[in-house]
Chains A and B, each alone.
Chain A
Amino acid sequence: MSNDATYHGPSEVVTTHDVHHDEHHVHHHKETFITKYVFSQDHKMIAKQFIVTGIVWAIIGGLFSVLFRLQLGFPNVDFPILETFFGRWAKGGHIQPEFYYALITMHGTVLVFFVLTAGLSGTFANLLIPLQIGARDMASPFLNMLSYWFFFTASIVMVSSLFVQTGPASGGWTSYAPLSALAEASEGSKVGMDLWLVSMALFVVSSLLGGLNYISTILNMRTKGMSMTRLPLTIWALFFTAILGVLSFPVLLSGFILLLFDRHAGTSFYLSDIVVNGHVLDNEGGSAILYQHLFWFLGHPEVYIIILPSMGIVSEVLSVNSRKPIFGYMAMIGSLFAIAILAFLVWAHHMFVTGLNPFLGSFFVLLTLLIAVPSAIKVFNWLTTIWRGNLRLAPSTLFSIGFVSLFISGGLTGIFLGNSTIDIHLHDTMFIVAHFHIVMGVASFFGMFAGVYHWFPKMFGRDINHTLGYIHFWVTMIGAYLIFWPMHYEGLAGMPRRYLDLTPWVSFNKFQTLNEMITIVSIIVFAVQLMFVFNFFYSMFKGRKVTSTNPWGANTLEWTTPINPGHGNWPGEIPEVHRWAYDYGKDGREFVMQTEPIGTNESKDH
């Protein structure tokens, strides 16, 4: 409509933006390599830093899983090449127990925190929040930069722990005390554990700096007309993710600090009645279970910190590529909100067999299974979104469909585990490994891939190779199911997780061929991920240049910026928003961008 010009002119908000922009415009000319690529305060560059670091970590974490899968699949085969690379950790080409446990610990830590938290929300919150809400940058670009560099420092410390003589932390990604508290109990609980704790503490700082920034940006810096209920679901998802992180990471940090005290200051927060290696310790009165409460108070919201951004990305990608509005926008926000609240109230379902009071446990059963309701709403809404759509099956769409499929599969097995009666049998078996890898590991990766394929043109002004994208999707999708689906059966047989050789066990040695198959498939899937990484970097420099500012025909604001937006995102004024983000196929029009004012003859919905 023509009144949009009159709206823009005298507005104070716009004026400040203009000033802001001018500052940056001046700034542009003095930009050096260091300020542009290293200590950048541009949210888009920080997003790229997060994803590149995340990719490096994903390769390391993925490689670790291949190594311990070799041990699980072929416990009696020697791989001399392992000794070449890892020396005494793989004596005779055979992964040593300490090494095995270090590998699974690092695999978990790296993928949960460094890849699927920093790499996923770090990337997409940074990239999308200012672009989709219509802001020039984050509320505090400086803190945003610090957030990345704390993450980077945490990474350096974590990498360094891989090279200490006694090896990195090896008490599992949960690092349960007292195993993690007693240097005498395990090699990995020596200096490796200290480095792990320091690294995680730095990581918490990074996550808090990022999270506070995301929240304040979303609340305060939306462009004119962008009410909360006009935000794309990606932003809502990232908003709840940030809130979860800000409220739960400090609890984890406090748990870690108490652990550090127990390790070095002689306190007994988690320690009591311990005789380790024939050595009677002085500690009395502590509770080993306290650590688990503190850990899982973050640990459970953490899995939603991992999955929510993917849910947001998938909602956006499915709607754009179905050419159809997301079904039940308000229900989607409501279910995100319900999940975020419930995420804080279910942590003890990880502790049903710790001797937790069964009466208390029953509340956690109820609340845990309650999460299935908002999750079901989301699934049905995604299904209805693609129903009667006009699906463009770009790689991002395929990964989104894959996400929904995996989320269903993994979500349903969660109903088994959340019910404490069944959990008694399935707790700490391969069933839980299969469950969380499908629902939060692979599914979140699928959301991340969907995001990368969808926003690659926006990030780099070039298109990523789609043929490789299709190969990437199909191998990963089939591979993920081949790896994790049969694993449920191992768990139903009671096969414990974190075992390195099942052959001596009468109850669990029936799955050797299956374990070999899983290992071989995981090597193939890992190789295909390397292919994706290659595609990512190759396309970054050599991909076909994008010619349109809005290659997907999407409604959201990021596609109103130039193909390669500078710092400040919009060369002119920040556009004003007049409608929600999902007017696809409305009144016979393929898509109506958020910046287009409501027409006089437009139908009522939104």
Chain B
Amino acid sequence: MTTFFIIAILALGFLITFQIAKASEYVSVLRGLEKARRQSNRINAFLLLLFLIGGLIGVYFCNESLKGRVLGEAASVQGEEIDLMLKITFYITGIVFFITQIALFWFAYKYQESDKRKPFYYPHNNKLEVIWTVIPALALTVLVGFGLYYWFKITGDAPKEAMQIEITGKQFGWEFRYPGRDKIFGKKYFRNVDPANNNPMGQIWDDAANRDDIWMEQEMHCVVNKPVKLIIGSKDVIHDVGLSHFRLKMDAVPGTPTTMWFTPKYTTKEMKVKENNPDFVYEISCDQMCGKGHTGMRGIIVVETQAEFDRWMAVKKPQYLVAHPDKDPSVKPAATDTTKATAAAVIIEAKGNFAKRKD
């Protein structure tokens, strides 16, 4: 019902506006078109000036009220560089913005039609034109220079000690693979993908490097102050690994792996304090439209200390063993049924094994 009211009100408002407009036209005909035109000229010139002043106040107000809601300090070393670049661009474009907008509206107000003024016949001035070709060119050279310096730094090779994690998008979620103890990802082939038989990544089990690879969904862990290299892929359509707090993103393209690396600066716990938000988590947002579930394609990154990470990793079981329970040394060959109790026992034992291997 309210909708109809709104529509009715809009229609009425429209009708009134139209009648006023029509009446004003008749009035202007009666008063003399030229006189009416000059009056509306003055009104609009004044409004342009008002728009300039109101607009400048609005820009300031908008900035004051929204800047607090823009993400706080970048949470990665690379993000800091991007923020610095943003700041440089912000100031340079800001200066141009204010000069040109003020000039535009001020001229429009100042040089409104008047009988006293003769328009100045001024078709060109080569010197002026050279000046305003060269100045933007120089400013842009600075921006390109800084931009490319950081661009190559950020997109350059990851440090050798970087932790490698494979992240794969699918409709609609994220999957992760850790290379395990050997730090080598086993080979995979998309035709082997078979989630029903515990092979969601299409790992080739014959490859020995696959024996210790660990697979998980939706949540990824990494270590603070330690570079992380993401090897990004997709199973179906193009997705995008968007890490707004780290200021990074990279597409996940089916058939063409991409990479991105960064160094997280704060643990999730530290960020909860910094952001003053107990619910804070690092989110992975899919930034490339991927279908109807695009909005819900949310992953989580937990940044923690090395000790916390090791403890978390210790209980993870390689996907090879999940797919081949018979090869699992921790599962007794006789035990064919995997009830919850035995599964728990497996995890505890695996944890023990992992801890031993670390030593």
Contacts and interface: CB of A to CB of B under 8 A. Distances in A.
A binds B: yes
Contacts of B113: 390-393
A328 B129 contact: yes
A275 B235 contact: yes
A89 B185 CA distance: 44
Interface stretch (B92-100, B217-225, B325-333, B340-348): B92-100
A85 to B, nearest CB: 11
Interface in B198-257: 202, 232, 235-238, 240, 242, 244-245, 247-251, 253-257
A164 interface: no
Contacts of B232: 355
A328 B71 CA distance: 44
A185 B237 contact: yes
A377 B238 contact: no
B352 to A, nearest CB: 35
A422 B112 contact: no
B10 A527 contact: yes
B20 interface: yes
A413 B154 CA distance: 22
B256 A289 contact: yes
A507 B104 contact: no
Contacts of A506: 277, 279-281, 283
Contact of A496 (B14, B202, B242, B248): B242
Interface residues of A, number: 132
A188 to B, nearest CB: 9
Interface string A489-514: 10011111011110011111011001
Given A185-B291, A531-B18, A425 B256 contact: no
A285 B29 CA distance: 72
Interface stretch (B135-143, B159-167, B303-311, B314-322): B135-143
A331 B129 contact: yes
Interface of B: 3-4, 10, 14, 17-18, 20-22, 24-25, 29, 37, 40-41, 44-45, 47-48, 51, 55, 58-59, 62, 66-67, 69-71, 79, 81-82, 85-86, 89-90, 92-93, 96-97, 100-101, 103-105, 107-108, 111-114, 117-125, 128-129, 132-133, 136-137, 140, 143-144, 146-148, 150-152, 154-156, 170-171, 190-191, 193, 195, 202, 232, 235-238, 240, 242, 244-245, 247-251, 253-259, 277, 279-281, 283, 285-296, 298
Contacts of A496: 242, 285-287
Contacts of B289: 101, 171-172, 176, 179, 498
A467 B100 contact: no
Given A420-B147, A486-B62, A507-B245, A288 B253 contact: yes
Nearest to B71: A493
18 contacts: A80-B3, A97-B295, A179-B291, A280-B191, A324-B120, A326-B123, A328-B124, A362-B148, A370-B140, A383-B103, A383-B104, A389-B111, A390-B113, A424-B154, A424-B247, A467-B20, A496-B285, A588-B118
Contacts of B119: 322-324, 388-390, 584-585
Given A408-B100, A468-B17, A506-B281, A376 B235 contact: no
Given A326-B123, A387-B122, A392-B37, 16 more contacts: A101-B292, A287-B255, A328-B124, A354-B253, A358-B151, A366-B144, A386-B104, A388-B111, A391-B111, A401-B108, A421-B154, A424-B82, A425-B86, A489-B66, A582-B123, A584-B119
Contacts of A88: none
Nearest to B124: A328
Contact of B251 (A354, A379, A507): A354
A153 interface: no
A454 B90 CA distance: 36
Interface string A573-594: 0000000001011111000000
Contact of A494 (B85, B242, B293): B242
B122 A388 contact: yes
Nearest to A291: B238
Nearest to B108: A401
Nearest to A409: B97
A362 B151 contact: yes
Interface in A513-566: 514, 527, 530-531, 534-535, 544
Given A273-B255, A408-B100, A467-B25, A585 B283 contact: no
Interface in A591-606: 605-606
A409 B117 CA distance: 31
A353 B51 contact: no
Interface in A343-393: 353-355, 358, 361-362, 365-366, 369-370, 372-373, 376-377, 379-384, 386-393
Interface of A: 79-81, 97-98, 101, 170-172, 176, 178-179, 182, 185-187, 271-278, 280, 284-289, 322-331, 353-355, 358, 361-362, 365-366, 369-370, 372-373, 376-377, 379-384, 386-393, 398, 401, 404-405, 408-409, 412-413, 415-416, 419-422, 424-425, 427-429, 465-468, 470-471, 474, 477-478, 481, 485-486, 489, 492-496, 498-501, 504-508, 510-511, 514, 527, 530-531, 534-535, 544, 582, 584-588, 605-606
Nearest to B275: A506
B254 A355 contact: no
A450 B15 CA distance: 24
A329 B124 CA distance: 7
A317 B40 CA distance: 18
Nearest to A359: B152
Contacts of B123: 325-329, 582, 605-606
Nearest to B43: A470
B295 A392 contact: no
A373 B258 contact: no
A178 B254 contact: yes
| Interface hub of B20, B66, B255, B293 (most chain A Cβ within 10 A) | B255
Contacts of A467: 20-21, 24-25, 40
Contacts of B146: 421
Contacts of A353: 240, 249-251
Contacts of A288: 238, 253-256
Contacts of A477: 51
B110 to A, nearest CB: 9
B151 A365 contact: yes
Contacts of A275: 170, 190, 193, 202, 235-236
A373 B133 contact: yes
A355 B253 contact: yes
B14 A182 contact: no
Contacts of B10: 527
B129 A377 contact: yes
Contact of B121 (A366, A405, A489, A586): A586
A176 B251 CA distance: 12
A285 B254 CA distance: 10
B154 A369 contact: no
Closest 3 CB pairs of A and B: A494-B244, A272-B255, A355-B258
A178 B248 CA distance: 23
Contacts of B45: 391, 393
A600 B93 CA distance: 48
Contact of A465 (B25, B108, B236): B25
Contacts of A388: 111, 117, 119-120, 122
Contact of A489 (B29, B70, B120, B285): B70
A354 B258 contact: yes
A485 B66 CA distance: 11
A381 B294 CA distance: 44
Given A176-B238, A428-B249, A421 B81 contact: yes
B71 A507 contact: yes
A420 B143 CA distance: 11
Contacts of B155: 358, 361
A278 B81 CA distance: 40
| Interface hub of B20, B107, B256 (most chain A Cβ within 10 A) | B107
A370 B144 CA distance: 9
A205 B59 CA distance: 44
A324 B122 contact: yes
B14 A527 contact: yes
